[in-house]
Structure 1
Amino acid sequence: MRTPTPSSTPAHRIVIVGGGAAGLELATSLGNTLGRRGQADITLIDKARTHIWKPKLHEIAAGSMDVGRHELNYLAQAHWHHFHYRLGEMNGLDRANKLVHVAPFIDEDGVAVTTQQSFAYDTLVMAVGSRSNDFGTPGVDQHALKLETLADAERFHRRMLDACIRAHAQTTPLSPSQLHVAVIGAGATGVELVAQLHRTTREVVAFGLDRIDPERDIQLHLIEAADRILPALSPRISAGALDLLNGLGIKVHTSARVSGVAADSVQLASGEVIPAELLVWAAGIKAPGFLQDIDGLETNRINQLAVHQTLVTTRDENIFAMGDCAACPWPEKNGFVPPRAQAAHQQASHLAKQIKRRMAGKPLEPYHYRDFGSLVSLGDYSAVGSLMGGLMAGSLFIDGLVARLMYTSLYKMHELALHGFTKVALETLTRAITRRTESHVKLH
């Protein structure tokens, strides 16, 4: 890493909390410009050691993606792109003294890696993302898995493999809940997960677990409280996805409000009980709880930080928020920007420019969300979605190969923001070649 040019004035201190899509893209962009030239000291704080694009977690859970080929190491990224990475989880804020407090980091063996730390800032960016919202439903914390982190996804995958091996090894008939999976929440994550699981469970069984009949023994349930799946998207996209799921034999339950979760079943408000060995909660979102009224900053009912359209928090001009943890106005819709990957990507690009304007003493420009449509991957089977933009009035429904290619391009945009064209092109080619010589499902 190039040594910053000496300066008579201290470098502007930029602290970014959260290494998700938005936070990591911003740190990389600022590092490549301000950090490289010694104009700013940029620090990224995250409680994980590596980064995975969150919309890919369902593929890891299903076992259809090799984590090793997509995982990004924060330390390496920081070294290559002229910013600092610090391990830990934010647990406090001192706005008066411009300090971010970070809790001690304890490893999986219970050994302290870092002590309580504080980081000074001139500009602070909150990009801590979102978590699942269980709405206080009884039993969720005890019995349901959530797909919020890489560890969550890998934990589900291990349980799924163990369930298949256990069922194959036992000599007694399967219980009513065995090899049944219930996914609660039919948003994009839930729909994409059940579609991936339909394929990968069959591939796992094909590797010698011949005492399991996938058509007879494996049952996938998708449960949604609204009257249709993908309720945040257009009815046409919902209908297209539903047709494919029905064709795969996945049992879709709509207008089905969950009243409780047990170790081996889901209870609906209607009184119906759905037996399932594996339970996944994928309904609703909220920002992390520690944000609620943190040092006087304004938050909403789901803990999101209230921001102006410039992404500046409403009560502190030195603090920005972006991505899922920010309640950003969307004047064109008289609402708020939706928590989507494309919004996080846009806000990171916008904020990289605005921080430079702030440092130069120029007024900040407002962020305008551009909705390019919505895409939902249904694994190797298909994809459905809509495209929106200046070349068309309204939206254009797409499915099949075109939709799958467009869905893949969203991830490529994220990779390009982090690595540049040459590295992304080479890694894409390597993955394509390797995929032809290996199993398409992770077996451990």
Structure 2
Amino acid sequence: MFRLQTRVLIANVVCGAVTLASGALMLEAGMSGVAAIAVALVLGLVVALVGARVAPAPARRALRALHDGVMGFAESDFATRIAAPSPDEVGDLVAVFNRMGAVLRAERAELIQRELLLDTLLQGAPMAILLVDQRQRIVFANAACRRVFHGAARLHGRALPEIVPLAPEALRGPLRRGEDSLVSWEHDGQEESFRVLVRAFHLNTVPHRLLVIERITHELARQETATWKKAIRVMSHELNNSLAPVSSLAHSARVAAERPDAATRLPAVLDAISERVAHVTAFLEGYARFARLPAPRREAVPLAPFLATVGQLFPFTLDAPVGDAHGWFDPGQIQQVLINLLKNAEESGSAPDEIRMAVDQVEAGIRFTVRDRGHGMDEETMRKALLPFHSSKKAGAGLGLSLCSEIVDAHGGRLHLARLDEGGMAISVWLPGRTGPA
């Protein structure tokens, strides 16, 4: 069987031969030269058209099939397979098409299996996972999301702002702001702690956000147990370090009392004993304050003079004037909270002019937010930041943020930690108004 190129060449030769023969016959028949040439060209054209219609018909059918197959590829239909018409160029093209279809079918089957495996893993994950596109539409939500959003039957395709009110109140702020957070709320009849992680990325050049809400109650409970063990070790070590010298000094005092110069030696020994006792007392008093936190005595507090007093102790920059706004809280306790937060911001390495505070009237209450540009916290430190006796500072007692959290909780408020994209931390304290929770 001739290849297509050969058949076209033969058709051209036949067409030329017919044209020449027709011209010669017309001249022998006595026709003029112009008329003979015209008739010969017409006959050659007729032969060429007939050849074009008859000779490549299988090739035309194969090309139409290839066209339809490629259009199927565009619509993700890779099932088409074309029978090769003949071993020519068109046949080679058909063979390439069939091989390409087989490869695409295999790759799609593998992709489907991978997607099925990934979906199974995500749906079975204990943490709630949400994927949100640039229009705030939910493009993926796993089964755990239904527990977080109070049994919402369908989340896919809905707008994130539409479902935020379905979440527990403590979770709504972090979801709206789109920032990493540690929050707590009552879940299944008991207080549970959750970690919110938010990550931005591009999917097919389109901005997306991944939100993960993970329960960390058991992890925190284990850390709390370890923290209490550490506290006991710290207290035992501190007491031993103080009591051992006291015991030695007491013995020295007894010996000195028997000496003739007791009146001159005893005061120095007793002063040393008093110093060690004072150190132990101060050490234990710090922990006692944490354990014996009094109930807050709320009152209407004008914010402008209150913040001015705080600023005299630890300078900061206020984002906007508070005017004649009032808060409803224990001024002494909340002053202690803000001073602790400002002190932490200063010790984080932030420049004084980069320590700022914002005061907002939100959610039927008031929110203080202290921001800095220091070294911030890593995830491990954030998870443990509110635990008693945990400190990232060498000389820290680990009571600062945990005491702040206790004070805020006693007010019925919330303390929230977040890392800033530009570096540093933002720690906010929300306190309910006079009609808020007691």
Q: Same fold (TM over 0.5)?
A: no
Q: 1 or 2, which has the higher strand percentage?
A: 1
State which structure, 1 or 2, has the greater radius of gyration over its C-alpha atoms. 2
**Higher relative contact order, chain-length normalized (CA < 8 Å, sep 6+):** 1
The structure whose residues are more often helix, as a share, is: 2
Give the TM-score normalised by structure 2.
Answer: 0.24
TM-score, reference length from structure 1: 0.24
